[in-house]
Amino acid sequence: MIRNRRDTEDKLVRAVGAVLEISGFQKVGVNLLARTAGVDKVLIYRYFGGLDGLLSAFGESADIWWTVDEIVGDETAGPEQGNLSAWCGLALARQVDALRQRPVTQQILLWELSQSNGLTRKLNELRETRTQQLVRRAIELGGRRVDTRLLAVHSLLGAASEYVILRSRNSDSLLGMDFSDDAGWSRLAASLSAVAEAVLAEGEA
């Protein structure tokens, strides 16, 4: 009985990711999730207390946000220590790559703009925590002490890149930048690095 319940819970949790990736957040609902999992919809209420509980469970189990080690871990090559603008530029560029590789996360970010639920709240919690951890790590690698100005600069540039990624789902261009191939994304990474360097260079002098 316990194993059957766990199997059913796993099916329902996986169904959330499948529906988000294939149909988008607009289609996420009790009926479609139950059909996708091949179970009775009443089990969503029995096992998770409802849709919000199921979405929270998916957020707990899924790799919906990058980790700090994924961006600037010991196994990743980076610039020399003490070069703050280079480390921040690298972190921003890798954040873009990490989010581009997560179409389900992009759907959740779009969902977050119009609704708060267990999944969007979980994503926001992860994003806030890990972004602060990443910025602190990048600043330390850059040889500087963490302060609110540096946190704000990195966070604003990160938010701007998130917007570009979400917008690119429906449009390949933005202000003359073409995002239909990797060249456009490389240009964005270079632009982020240039902005980070321009903003932070004065403080490094």
Give Cβ neighbours of residue 52 (< 8 Å, ≥ 6 apart).
117, 118
Secondary structure string (H, E, C) spanning 152-197: HHHHHHHHHHHHHHHHCCCCCEECCEECCCHHHHHHHHHHHHHHHH
Cα 109 from Cα 140, distance rounded (Å): 29
In the predicted model, what is the mean pLDDT of residues 124-142? 88
Q: Measured between alpha carbons, how far is 193 from 157 in angstroms, rounded to an integer?
A: 10
In percent, the amount of the chain with pLDDT more than 90 equals 58
Give the fold, CATH level 3, of 2-61: Arc Repressor Mutant, subunit A (1.10.10)
Cα–Cα nearest to 54, from 24, 20, 21, 3: 20
Average pLDDT over residues 83-88: 82
| Mean pLDDT, residues 141-156 | 81
Angle, CA 185 vertex, CA 184 and CA 187 arms, to 5°: 65
Tell me which DSSP letter residue 78 carries: -
Q: Where are the domains of the chain?
A: 2-61, 68-204
Any residues with CB less than 8 A from the CB of 26 and at least 6 apart, and which?
none
Q: Is the separation of the CB atoms in 19 and 32 below 8 Å?
A: yes
* Statement: residue 3 has pLDDT above 50: yes
Query: Which pLDDT band, with edges at 50, 70 and 90, does 84 fall under?
Result: confident
Give the residue among 198, 201, 191, 184 at the shortest CA–CA distance from 142.
201
Q: pLDDT digits over 15-54, tens only? A: 999 999 999 999 999 999 999 999 999 999 999 999 999 9
